[in-house]
Each structure stands twice: as structure tokens, then as C-alpha cells.
Amino acid sequence: MTHSAPETISIATGDNQFIVADHWPGDATPVILAHGGGQTRHSWGGTAATLAAKGHRVASIDLRGHGDSTWAPDGDYSMGAYCGDALRIAEWIRHDNPTTHIAWVGASLGGMTGLHVIDAAPAWFSSLTLVDITPRPAAKGVSRILEFMAAKADEGFADLDEAADAIAEYQPHRPRPKDLSGLAKNLRLGDDGRWRWHWDPAFLDVRSGTNSEHARDRHHDELEMIARRITMPTMLVRGRLSDLVTQDEVDEFLKMVPHARYVDVKDAAHMIAGDKNDVFTDAVVEFLDG
């Protein structure tokens, strides 16, 4: 059965804190879609609807501090906090059937979260798909992303056109959109009339000038240890133009997880689902249903 329009729900994760998700019901393997840092649940293009049309139960989530989910009042954007949220979401999906196994599909930050949660509760998950992220992403690519995210985090943009120009400069391989309505979902309009990214600046500690935990070497050490413990079906999808996951990072990951499937998407960079959504979605469907 095709579910063209999702239900938007809130999943409680703590005292007055919640995760917002678009939810499609279905009888096939449940799928959690977790976006990258600085993105929202709207970043997957048609992937969620396609999976729902294949019969999957799908929850496309806004990670904490992003989109319509709660901004952490204590500024806790640690990987422990993201993993805790992920466990609450998995519990919600498994509530009516404790034997349910979930497929986790995570891009960048969502992929790091996936590594942590499948390690914390491996019996709850059937597979892991990492979208342009590995335990040790290329330092140059990490720096470029963090610099882009931090550049306008406080100041914001005068209008959507200015935001679109900034994105076009950051992603020169992708045509600048003429219709900016989709972009509006990733920004919020402040009382001062300026548009800012739809995520909490505390996520990157941009006001103090420090990087988040997620980019630090000791976290990458932890992710590598987790990766080497993976036994479930795993897929890495990389954008060939990505400067975060180069061929070197792919080769290292396949040594860590030798049973992993690898898909290289031509003409896509870090935001694979936005660059080549049909190719990306086909790869995910084949992995889950093939």
C-alpha cells in the first residue's frame, strides 16, 4: 500500500524533550532515516515515500537540536545524548512488537548516531546504512563543513535568496534551485526578519569558537572500535565528489567492516540524497529488499 502523506508525530525522549518525525505506517522492515548535522527530516527527498510505497514503516526524524525537535536546554549535543534519543525512538517503533528489527539509515551525524545505537542495542536492528560517513572522515572535509555551518549560524541571512547563494557557493556541483520553498524548511524566520539555519547554534558551540565532540579524534577512535564489532548487514554509500569520504576513507572502512556492501554514487557529493536521490534510493531499496 502506498502512503503518500506521512503523519507528523512527537516522540518523548525526556523531561519536556521530544523528537519530531514524519511517520509512514507499513508492515515491512521499519526504517529510521536520520539526517546529517545541520539538516532536517526533509533532507531525504523522495526516499522515505519510496520506502513507504514498498511497504516499509518509515520514521524520518529531526535529530535533537534540529528542525522541529527540542533544542537541548542544557546544550547537551553529545553522542551519548543522540544515542539515548535513538534508543527511545527504537523503543517507540518496537512497542507493539518487541521482536521487531529496525533498519537504520543515517547520513553523516545520523550515521554516527547509527553506529552508536546499533552497538548499544544490536538485537534491535537488522541493518545499518551509512551515508557518506565513516568512523574516520577526512579532516579537510570535516573542517569545510564545520566552517560552512558556523559562518552564518548567528548572523543569519537577509532572505532565502542570500541563503541559496551561500549554498550554491558551498555546493558548486549542484544547480542553484529556482524554487526556494524547499529551502525554507531548513531555515527559520526570526523575529528580526532574518533567516537562520533550523538548528541550535549550541550544537557546534559556535559562540565559543570550539568544534563539537563529533569531529574530535577520540570520538573517531570510538567509532572505529564500534565498526570493528559490526556483524549485521551494513552498507556504505559514498558520493564520489565528497571531500569527507574519499577513496582512502572507503578503503579503511572496508578493512574495518569487510562484509559491508559499498555503493559509489557518481556526480554526488556529501549530500547524496539531495544530489542524486533516485540513485541513492534505488541503492537503499535494493539493500533492504534485495
DSSP result, 54-99 = TTEEEEEEPPTTBTTSPPPTT----HHHHHHHHHHHHHHHHTT-TT
Residue 72 falls inside a structural domain: yes
Closest by Cα among 96, 131, 139 to 113: 131
Asked whether residue 180 is assigned to any structural domain, the reply reads no
Query: What pLDDT was estimated at residue 206?
Result: 44
CATH at 60: 3.40.50.1820
Q: Which residue has the higher pLDDT, 18 or 176?
A: 18
* Residue numbers of the domain that contains 266: 7-138+216-289
Question: How far is C-alpha 147 from the geometric centre of its chain's CA atoms?
Answer: 18
Is residue 285 in some structural domain? yes
234, part of any domain: yes
Name the phi and psi angles at 284, rounded to 5. Answer: -70, -45
Q: What is the tens place of the pLDDT at every residue in 204-220?
A: 874 444 445 666 778 99
- Residue 2 is predicted with a pLDDT of 45
Q: Is 174 among the domain residues?
A: no
Q: Say what the pTM is.
A: 0.94
- The x, y and z cell numbers of residue 8, run together, are 507528523
Enter the C-alpha cell of residue 143. Answer: 573542517
Q: Flag the least confident range among 14-23, 37-46, 166-175.
A: 166-175
Residue 32 lies in a domain: yes
User: ∠ CA 134-21-95 to the nearest 5 degrees?
Assistant: 95
Instruction: With respect to residue 146, please indicate whether it lies within any of the assigned structural domains.
Output: no
Number of domains the chain is built from: 1
For residue 262, is it within any domain? yes
